[in-house]
């Protein structure tokens, strides 16, 4: 199970891995490239922690050895790079690179689109308030231009996903509240259940979930920078029953 994303995957990781454990039979090898503010094509920094680009992190090298297992992949949270000032074309290129590599693995891929319907409701004031809350150090882009870029990136992401045969899900507006980019905590279980149901092999939850998912707190990725100093961590970083977790 390959998980690619940023803050939504990070915030929902516990319930997401519980759903994965419930929905798929047999041993599970979970490999994730995630993190608040994570970029698909550039180093990203939140406070004192920096993470490498998803498109070039160590995840891909870890997948170079072919294994006779079924592979699933989730690609989501593609909007951060817009706030960093990158163009829709450039971001879509990074996303397409990831999709091409997943196709080479014969992975069953699910891609979530940007929550454009929710974003369109923001207006200029709410947009700038959100930008200052989550991306205060980056050069501001006007609301009209950001909305244009978001629509273009969403279209390009959808086109790349369809081209590689991925299943695509458009997040419904009901998943989001005052915060327009993070799934509401009260909707995380049902939202991720909906996302995972795009795989025909997935058994949707109906009688409750396992009590625990994979632990994320206190686990470190293979490579990161902390206060500017390189730190490397041997993977996997966690095992729970027949599930293992590697972070990149």
Give pLDDT tens digits for 148-207. Answer: 999 999 999 999 999 999 999 999 999 999 888 899 999 999 999 999 999 999 998 776
Planar angle of CA 146, 7, 156, nearest 5 degrees: 45
The model carries a pTM of 0.93
Angle 88-104/143-163 helices, nearest 10 degrees?
20
Is the pLDDT score of 138 beyond 70?
no
Q: Would you state the pLDDT for residue 194?
A: 96
Q: Percent of the chain at pLDDT above 70?
A: 96
pLDDT class of 2 with cuts at 50, 70, 90:
very high
Residue 17 near residue 7 (C-beta atoms within 8 A) = no
Q: Would you state the pLDDT for residue 24?
A: 93
Average pLDDT of every residue of the chain: 93
Is the pLDDT score of 27 beyond 90?
yes
Q: Would you state the pLDDT for residue 178?
A: 86
Q: Would you state the pLDDT for residue 244?
A: 96
Q: Would you state the pLDDT for residue 191?
A: 96
- C-alpha–C-alpha distance, residues 121 and 69, integer Å: 43
Residue 8 near residue 222 (C-beta atoms within 8 A) = no
Helices (H) and strands (E) in the chain, counts: 9, 11
Q: Span 234-244, mean pLDDT?
A: 95
Can you list the domains of the chain with their CATH numbers?
2-247 (3.40.50.1110)
Q: Would you state the pLDDT for residue 135?
A: 75
Q: Percent of the chain at pLDDT above 90?
A: 79
Give pLDDT tens digits for 115-132. Answer: 999 989 888 877 888 777
CA proximity to 241, closest of 9, 63, 17, 89: 17
Is the pLDDT score of 36 beyond 80?
yes
In terms of DSSP bridges, do strands 49-51 and 44-46 run parallel, antiparallel, or are they unpaired?
Answer: antiparallel
List the structure tokens of 56.
């070039």
Q: Span 59-84, mean pLDDT?
A: 91
Q: Would you state the pLDDT for residue 6?
A: 97
């Amino acid at each position: 199970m390959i998980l690619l994303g940023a803050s939504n995957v990070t915030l929902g990781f516990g319930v997401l891995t519980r759903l994965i454990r419930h929905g798929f039979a047999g041993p599970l090898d979970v490999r994730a490239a995630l993190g608040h503010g994570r970029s698909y094509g550039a180093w990203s920094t939140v406070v004192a922690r920096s993470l490498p680009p998803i498109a070039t992190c160590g995840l891909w090298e870890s997948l170079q050895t072919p294994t006779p297992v079924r592979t699933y992949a989730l690609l989501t949270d593609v909007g951060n790079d817009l706030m960093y000032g990158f163009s829709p074309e450039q971001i879509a290129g990074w996303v397409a690179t990831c999709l091409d590599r997943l196709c080479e693995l014969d992975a069953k891929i699910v891609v979530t689109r940007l929550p454009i319907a929710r974003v369109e409701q923001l207006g200029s004031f709410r947009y700038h308030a959100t930008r200052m809350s989550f991306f205060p150090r980056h050069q501001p882009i006007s609301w009209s231009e950001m909305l244009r870029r978001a629509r273009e990136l969403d279209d390009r992401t959808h086109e790349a996903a369809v081209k590689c045969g991925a299943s695509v899900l458009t997040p419904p507006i009901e998943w989001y509240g005052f915060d327009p980019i993070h799934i509401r905590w009260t909707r995380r279980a049902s939202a991720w259940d909906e996302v995972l149901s795009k795989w025909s092999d997935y058994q949707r939850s109906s009688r409750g979930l396992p009590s625990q998912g994979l632990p994320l707190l206190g686990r470190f990725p293979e490579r990161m920078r902390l206060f500017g100093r390189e730190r490397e961590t041997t993977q996997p970083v966690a095992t729970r029953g027949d599930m293992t977790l590697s972070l990149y």
